[in-house]
Amino acid sequence: MANTLYDTLFGQHQGKTTPFLQMENGTIITHCDFLELTSQYAHQFCKMGLQPGDRVAVQIAKSPQALAVYAACVQAGLVFLPLNTAYTADEVSYFVENSGARVLLCDAKRADALELIAKSCGAVLETMNADGTGSFTAKAAENPIDFTPVSRTADDLAAFLYTSGTTGRSKGAMLTQGNLLSNCQALVKEWEFTADDTLLHALPIFHTHGLFVATNVSLLTGGKVLFLPKFDLDSLLELMSQATAMMGVPTFYTRLLNDPRFTREAVEHMRLFVSGSAPLLAETHVKFQERTGHRILERYGMTETNMITSNPYNGERRAGTVGFPLPGVEIKITDSSTGEELALGEIGDIEVRGPNVFKGYWQMPEKTAEELRENGFFITGDLGQIDEDGYLSIVGRNKDLIISGGYNIYPKEIEVLLDDKEGVLESAVIGVPHPDFGETVVAILVAEKNTDLDLETIADDIGSSLAKFKHPQRILTLPELPRNTMGKVQKKELREQYKDMFVIA
Ligand code: MCA
Ligand code: AMP
């Protein structure tokens, strides 16, 4: 029996000394080096008693070793569960408990804060630091450098990626081997990636974009990856000359455009710039073309569905649209209340079906049934419209979500904490336009009668349990929140009222 995801992404490079990862300092990790590490880690998981299907939660810095943990999970039939390195111990605790992870890998600096959490959830804590050292790697170093991949079918789980919910509780999206493989195969074809490509990789590897899109595409073709620990403008500008392609969130592109060193000459040799995870302003698309002569290729995806649509590689990349469905993927626009398909040009819910669509939310059958129809269509929660040429545009969201610098923030999660503070009658958390992050978080509080709120203390209190990128950039008070006749808070009105708060005149 086979393990197709492993064989196709990793196993095909067995014994090859071709460069896979190039680090900022020029160090090269060959495919062969990488696979030896992977096998040692797969052995280590087996030694720890893990069985196929067990979850491995990781909150570790981006490094070749971190990527090898992902590969080892695929090889050993384990479910890889990457976590944002910005998450607080409270946040991590939920994911470890909810997923039933058997192992939690974290940086040694966080071991004290997470040890008890791991223990109380029945997980074993091991460390892996940004430089690749740690208790896990030390133990694995003695293991054999080959490992027979555990048999897996396309329907077996490969990863859990948590995505927040409108109730404030995160849901574990179960992604199968087939989901991941079909999607990167479609992307390689659509975007014409080959072994000759060198991808500039500055995205985090705990989300679909950096992990399954950028990394899997390179693994599938055998191309090289310039593997930066994080987005850093200077490094990006320096390494650009060695790259052929780059993938990023819109903030990458606005930051590059704000730097005079980013010129037409600096990117003349580049083949492709891809943007996704958040809306790319048509204005950025146009400015980018004016400056560089390149048209950014914008695509659209979700944690639950991997990539759904893409502007064409050959053909018109239309600013303000996210292009056409990928091969094998179907989309339709439906009426939110009836679920009926709408005509071209009408605005409605974007629904998607295909081999890319996830299996459901871990241990949340009701949530799964709400969003994943029996006929296989997944209701994305995004609102869209398809024009007469077939281009999809995302025109809004039917879900209360803020996307800041490509990170999703669900207002409910913050509102629950704010509402709990003494003296707070109610709260509304909204996203407002931000020049760097696209959107940022603003919280509006209503105080209980005759109460003066200490906004600084409230900010500090909620801040201790929320990742930094979720912290409200401003907290304001209002005597009451605007409501419609049904009593529903009108966030649209609030967003309109505060839309210029961060706009630079
Ligand atoms: C960092 N900070 C942020 C964000 N990132 N605040 C709001 N939104 C953010 N996204 C805060 C830090 O807490 C810190 O706060 C300060 O900004 C600077 O931190 P630093 O680490 O230096 O941040 P940065 O380097 O400026 O990072 C900004 C970034 C990064 C490069 C835009 O957030 C990033 O790489 N985003 C990509 C996210 C991504 O990959 N999304 C894909 C998920 P302080 O100074 O107060 O300490 S979506 C997905 O996968 C779907 C499927 C899809 O379609 O792709
Ligand atoms: P996530 O849950 O982190 O996977 O984020 C998925 C959401 O990001 C989608 O539902 C969209 O709202 C948004 N998104 C992804 N790509 C784009 C894009 N190109 N334009 C607008 N929104 C996008």
Instruction: Kindly report, residue by residue over 249-274, the tens digit of the pLDDT.
Output: 999 999 999 999 999 999 999 999 99
**Ligand 1: does its nearest atom lie under 6 Å from the Cβ of 251?**
yes
**Ligand 1: does its nearest atom lie under 6 Å from the Cβ of 182?**
no
Return the ligand number nearest the Cα of 384: 2
**Ligand 1: does its nearest atom lie under 6 Å from the Cβ of 230?**
yes
**Ligand 1: does its nearest atom lie under 6 Å from the Cβ of 321?**
no
Q: What is the pLDDT of residue 448?
A: 96
Return the ligand number nearest the Cα of 399: 2
Q: Which of 273, 268, 283, 281 is nearest to 311 (CA)?
A: 273
Q: Which of 111, 100, 91 is nearest to 55 (CA)?
A: 100
**Ligand 1: does its nearest atom lie under 6 Å from the Cβ of 234?**
no
| Chain segment 465-491, per-residue pLDDT in tens | 999 999 999 999 999 999 998 889 999
**Which CATH number is correct for 402-497, 3.30.300.30, 3.30.420.40, 3.40.50.920, 3.40.50.450?**
3.30.300.30
Facing residues of 489 across strands?
483
| Chain segment 130-185, per-residue pLDDT in tens | 999 999 999 999 999 999 999 999 999 999 999 976 666 799 999 999 999 999 99
Task: State the average pLDDT over residues 307-314.
Answer: 98
**Ligand 1: does its nearest atom lie under 6 Å from the Cβ of 162?**
no
Task: State the average pLDDT over residues 341-353.
Answer: 97
Q: Cα separation of 38 and 73, whole Å?
A: 9
pLDDT, averaged across the chain: 97
Q: What is the pLDDT of residue 303?
A: 97
Q: What is the pLDDT of residue 504?
A: 78
Residue with tokens 């040799």: 269
**Ligand 1: does its nearest atom lie under 6 Å from the Cβ of 40?**
no
Q: What is the pLDDT of residue 167?
A: 67
Residue nearest atom 32 of ligand 1, based on CA coordinates: 405
Looking at the predicted structure, is the pLDDT value of residue 226 above 90? yes
Domain ranges of the chain: 31-152, 402-497
Task: State the average pLDDT over residues 379-407.
Answer: 96
DSSP character at residue 305: T
Q: What is the pLDDT of residue 166?
A: 66
Looking at the predicted structure, is the pLDDT value of residue 1 above 90? no
Looking at the predicted structure, is the pLDDT value of residue 435 above 90? yes
Strands (E), 136-289: 157-163, 171-176, 198-201, 224-227, 245-248, 272-275
With a Cβ cut-off of 6 Å, ligand 2 is lined by: 163, 208, 276-279, 298, 300-303, 322, 380-382, 394, 397, 403, 408
Equal CATH topology for 31-152 and 402-497: no
Residue with tokens 């060198």: 198
Strands (E), 188-292: 198-201, 224-227, 245-248, 272-275
| Chain segment 63-106, per-residue pLDDT in tens | 999 999 999 999 999 999 999 999 999 999 999 999 999 999 99
Looking at the predicted structure, is the pLDDT value of residue 21 above 80? yes
Ligand 1 atom closest to residue 202's alpha carbon, by position in its atom list: 35
Residue nearest atom 24 of ligand 1, based on CA coordinates: 231
Containing H/E element for 69?
A: helix 64-76
Q: What is the pLDDT of residue 142?
A: 96
Q: Cα separation of 197 and 199, whole Å?
A: 6
Q: Which of 402, 401, 431 is nearest to 502 (CA)?
A: 431
Ligand 2 atom closest to residue 380's alpha carbon, by position in its atom list: 10
Ligand 1 atom closest to residue 306's alpha carbon, by position in its atom list: 52
**Which CATH number is correct for 31-152, 3.90.105.10, 3.30.470.10, 3.40.50.980, 1.10.540.10?**
3.40.50.980
**Ligand 1: does its nearest atom lie under 6 Å from the Cβ of 276?**
yes
Quote the radius of gyration of the chain (alpha carbons, Å): 23
Task: State the average pLDDT over residues 412-430.
Answer: 96
Determine what percent of the chain is predicted with pLDDT higher than 90: 97
Return the ligand number nearest the Cα of 87: 1
Distance 382 CA to ligand 2 centre (A): 8
Q: What is the pLDDT of residue 503?
A: 86
Residue nearest atom 30 of ligand 1, based on CA coordinates: 405
Q: What is the pLDDT of residue 37?
A: 98
Containing H/E element for 20?
A: strand 19-22
